[in-house]
Protein backbone atom coordinates (compact mmCIF):
# COMPACT_ATOMS: atom_id res chain seq x y z
CA UNK A 1 0.00 0.00 0.00
CA UNK A 2 2.91 2.35 0.68
CA UNK A 3 4.08 1.82 -2.90
CA UNK A 4 0.58 2.44 -4.27
CA UNK A 5 0.41 5.68 -2.27
CA UNK A 6 3.68 6.87 -3.82
CA UNK A 7 3.68 5.72 -7.44
CA UNK A 8 0.08 4.76 -8.10
CA UNK A 9 -2.15 1.75 -8.50
CA UNK A 10 -1.15 -0.70 -11.24
CA UNK A 11 -3.63 -2.36 -13.58
CA UNK A 12 -1.91 -5.71 -12.97
CA UNK A 13 0.36 -7.05 -10.23
CA UNK A 14 2.65 -9.83 -11.46
CA UNK A 15 3.70 -12.11 -8.60
CA UNK A 16 5.12 -15.56 -8.04
CA UNK A 17 3.31 -18.44 -6.41
CA UNK A 18 4.74 -18.03 -2.91
CA UNK A 19 2.26 -19.02 -0.23
CA UNK A 20 2.27 -15.57 1.37
CA UNK A 21 0.91 -14.08 -1.88
CA UNK A 22 -1.81 -16.61 -2.56
CA UNK A 23 -3.14 -17.60 0.86
CA UNK A 24 -3.43 -21.15 2.12
CA UNK A 25 -2.48 -24.68 1.08
CA UNK A 26 -5.20 -26.14 3.27
CA UNK A 27 -7.92 -23.78 1.95
CA UNK A 28 -6.72 -22.80 -1.54
CA UNK A 29 -9.91 -20.93 -2.43
CA UNK A 30 -9.90 -18.73 0.66
CA UNK A 31 -7.20 -16.44 -0.82
CA UNK A 32 -4.79 -14.33 1.16
CA UNK A 33 -4.58 -10.65 1.93
CA UNK A 34 -2.53 -9.79 -1.18
CA UNK A 35 -5.16 -11.19 -3.58
CA UNK A 36 -8.04 -9.64 -1.64
CA UNK A 37 -6.30 -6.27 -1.49
CA UNK A 38 -5.63 -6.31 -5.23
CA UNK A 39 -9.25 -7.18 -6.01
CA UNK A 40 -10.52 -4.53 -3.58
CA UNK A 41 -8.60 -1.83 -5.49
CA UNK A 42 -9.42 -3.21 -8.95
CA UNK A 43 -5.93 -4.59 -9.58
CA UNK A 44 -5.66 -7.93 -11.40
CA UNK A 45 -3.12 -10.24 -9.70
CA UNK A 46 -1.19 -12.29 -12.27
CA UNK A 47 0.64 -15.38 -11.04
CA UNK A 48 3.61 -16.46 -13.15
CA UNK A 49 4.05 -20.11 -14.21
CA UNK A 50 5.11 -22.49 -11.44
CA UNK A 51 8.89 -22.97 -11.19
CA UNK A 52 9.75 -20.14 -13.62
CA UNK A 53 11.20 -17.32 -11.46
CA UNK A 54 12.81 -15.63 -14.48
CA UNK A 55 9.31 -14.48 -15.42
CA UNK A 56 9.68 -11.94 -12.59
CA UNK A 57 13.09 -10.77 -13.77
CA UNK A 58 12.70 -7.09 -12.88
CA UNK A 59 11.83 -7.69 -9.23
CA UNK A 60 14.43 -10.48 -8.94
CA UNK A 61 17.01 -8.00 -10.26
CA UNK A 62 15.88 -5.41 -7.71
CA UNK A 63 16.03 -8.00 -4.90
CA UNK A 64 19.60 -8.84 -5.92
CA UNK A 65 20.54 -5.13 -5.98
CA UNK A 66 18.86 -4.57 -2.60
CA UNK A 67 20.70 -7.52 -1.07
CA UNK A 68 24.17 -6.79 -2.50
CA UNK A 69 24.23 -3.01 -2.35
CA UNK A 70 22.26 -2.43 0.81
CA UNK A 71 21.28 -5.32 3.07
CA UNK A 72 24.63 -7.17 3.15
CA UNK A 73 26.74 -4.02 3.39
CA UNK A 74 25.80 -2.77 6.83
CA UNK A 75 24.81 -3.80 10.30
CA UNK A 76 21.38 -2.91 11.67
CA UNK A 77 21.02 -2.56 15.41
CA UNK A 78 17.21 -2.78 15.32
CA UNK A 79 14.28 -3.33 13.02
CA UNK A 80 13.50 0.40 13.20
CA UNK A 81 17.07 1.15 12.06
CA UNK A 82 16.65 -1.27 9.14
CA UNK A 83 13.38 0.42 8.10
CA UNK A 84 14.96 3.91 8.21
CA UNK A 85 17.98 2.83 6.20
CA UNK A 86 15.80 0.93 3.74
CA UNK A 87 13.82 4.12 3.03
CA UNK A 88 17.12 5.93 2.41
CA UNK A 89 18.22 3.20 0.01
CA UNK A 90 14.86 3.34 -1.77
CA UNK A 91 15.24 7.10 -2.31
CA UNK A 92 18.81 6.62 -3.62
CA UNK A 93 17.75 3.72 -5.84
CA UNK A 94 14.81 5.60 -7.35
CA UNK A 95 17.08 8.54 -8.25
CA UNK A 96 20.00 6.55 -9.71
CA UNK A 97 19.11 3.03 -10.93
CA UNK A 98 18.00 2.77 -14.54
CA UNK A 99 15.79 0.00 -15.93
CA UNK A 100 15.29 -1.14 -19.50
CA UNK A 101 11.59 -1.77 -18.77
CA UNK A 102 11.36 1.97 -17.97
CA UNK A 103 13.08 2.81 -21.28
CA UNK A 104 16.41 3.50 -19.57
CA UNK A 105 14.93 5.89 -17.03
CA UNK A 106 15.21 5.82 -13.28
CA UNK A 107 11.97 5.22 -11.35
CA UNK A 108 11.86 8.92 -10.45
CA UNK A 109 12.41 10.03 -14.05
CA UNK A 110 9.68 7.66 -15.21
CA UNK A 111 7.11 8.88 -12.69
CA UNK A 112 7.92 12.50 -13.60
CA UNK A 113 7.56 11.87 -17.35
CA UNK A 114 5.06 13.88 -19.35
CA UNK A 115 1.63 12.36 -19.27
CA UNK A 116 2.21 10.07 -16.30
CA UNK A 117 -0.73 10.71 -13.98
CA UNK A 118 -1.12 7.77 -11.63
CA UNK A 119 -4.21 7.05 -9.59
CA UNK A 120 -2.82 6.83 -6.08
CA UNK A 121 -4.14 5.95 -2.67
CA UNK A 122 -4.47 8.86 -0.29
CA UNK A 123 -1.63 9.22 2.24
CA UNK A 124 -3.94 8.36 5.15
CA UNK A 125 -5.51 5.30 3.50
CA UNK A 126 -5.65 2.43 5.95
CA UNK A 127 -5.74 -1.28 5.26
CA UNK A 128 -9.39 -2.12 4.56
CA UNK A 129 -11.25 -4.86 6.40
CA UNK A 130 -11.52 -7.68 3.87
CA UNK A 131 -13.87 -10.30 5.29
CA UNK A 132 -15.10 -11.40 1.88
CA UNK A 133 -13.50 -11.95 -1.49
CA UNK A 134 -14.12 -8.87 -3.68
CA UNK A 135 -15.34 -9.25 -7.26
CA UNK A 136 -12.62 -9.36 -9.88
CA UNK A 137 -10.30 -11.57 -11.85
CA UNK A 138 -7.23 -13.52 -10.75
CA UNK A 139 -4.95 -14.71 -13.56
CA UNK A 140 -2.64 -17.71 -13.38
CA UNK A 141 -0.29 -18.52 -16.25
CA UNK A 142 0.26 -22.28 -16.37
CA UNK A 143 2.07 -24.79 -18.56
CA UNK A 144 0.06 -27.93 -19.29
CA UNK A 145 2.21 -31.06 -19.29
CA UNK A 146 1.40 -34.53 -20.61
CA UNK A 147 -0.61 -35.41 -17.47
CA UNK A 148 -3.01 -32.56 -18.47
CA UNK A 149 -3.13 -31.24 -14.89
CA UNK A 150 -3.89 -27.56 -14.47
CA UNK A 151 -2.57 -26.51 -11.04
CA UNK A 152 -4.60 -23.73 -9.43
CA UNK A 153 -3.03 -22.99 -6.03
CA UNK A 154 -2.49 -26.73 -5.42
CA UNK A 155 -5.88 -27.88 -6.71
CA UNK A 156 -5.75 -29.97 -9.89
CA UNK A 157 -8.13 -29.60 -12.83
CA UNK A 158 -8.02 -31.86 -15.89
CA UNK A 159 -7.25 -29.75 -18.93
CA UNK A 160 -8.34 -30.57 -22.44
CA UNK A 161 -5.95 -32.84 -24.36
CA UNK A 162 -5.61 -30.06 -26.96
CA UNK A 163 -3.78 -27.96 -24.36
CA UNK A 164 -0.91 -30.38 -23.70
CA UNK A 165 2.49 -28.66 -23.94
CA UNK A 166 0.89 -25.21 -24.07
CA UNK A 167 0.91 -22.20 -21.81
CA UNK A 168 -2.61 -21.23 -20.81
CA UNK A 169 -4.15 -18.30 -18.99
CA UNK A 170 -6.44 -19.52 -16.22
CA UNK A 171 -8.76 -16.79 -14.95
CA UNK A 172 -10.64 -17.10 -11.68
CA UNK A 173 -13.70 -14.88 -12.06
CA UNK A 174 -14.75 -14.35 -8.45
CA UNK A 175 -18.10 -12.72 -9.23
CA UNK A 176 -19.47 -15.80 -11.01
CA UNK A 177 -17.41 -18.48 -9.20
CA UNK A 178 -15.86 -19.75 -12.40
CA UNK A 179 -12.42 -20.80 -13.65
CA UNK A 180 -11.95 -19.90 -17.31
CA UNK A 181 -9.07 -21.32 -19.35
CA UNK A 182 -7.76 -19.40 -22.37
CA UNK A 183 -5.33 -20.40 -25.08
CA UNK A 184 -4.25 -17.08 -26.48
CA UNK A 185 -7.45 -15.03 -26.67
CA UNK A 186 -9.72 -18.05 -27.08
CA UNK A 187 -11.79 -19.35 -24.17
CA UNK A 188 -11.29 -23.11 -24.42
CA UNK A 189 -12.55 -24.56 -21.13
CA UNK A 190 -14.49 -23.58 -18.01
CA UNK A 191 -14.84 -25.10 -14.55
CA UNK A 192 -17.12 -24.31 -11.62
CA UNK A 193 -15.01 -22.65 -8.95
CA UNK A 194 -17.15 -22.10 -5.87
CA UNK A 195 -15.61 -19.60 -3.46
CA UNK A 196 -16.33 -19.35 0.26
CA UNK A 197 -19.04 -16.86 1.18
Query: Could you tell me the pTM of the whole model?
Result: 0.85
Backbone angles phi, psi at 191, to 5 degrees: -135, 145
Distances, alpha carbon 178 to alpha carbons 19, 45, 68, 105, in Å: 22, 16, 43, 40
Pairing of strands 178-183, 186-192: antiparallel
pLDDT given at position 56? 83
**10-residue stretch averages of pLDDT, the chain, 197 residues long:** 84 92 88 95 96 84 87 92 92 90 87 78 90 95 98 96 97 98 97 93
How many C-beta atoms lie closer than 10 Å to residue 73's C-beta? 9
**DSSP letter string, 132-180:** SPPS-EEEEEEEE-TT-EEEETTEEEE--GGGTTEEEEEEEETTTTEEE
Amino acid sequence: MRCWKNIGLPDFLKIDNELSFRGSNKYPRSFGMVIKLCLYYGIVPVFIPLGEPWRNGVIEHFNDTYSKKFFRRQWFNSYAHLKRQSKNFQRFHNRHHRYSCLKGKTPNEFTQSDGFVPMTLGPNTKLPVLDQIPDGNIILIRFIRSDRMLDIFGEKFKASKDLVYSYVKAVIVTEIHQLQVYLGDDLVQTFDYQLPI
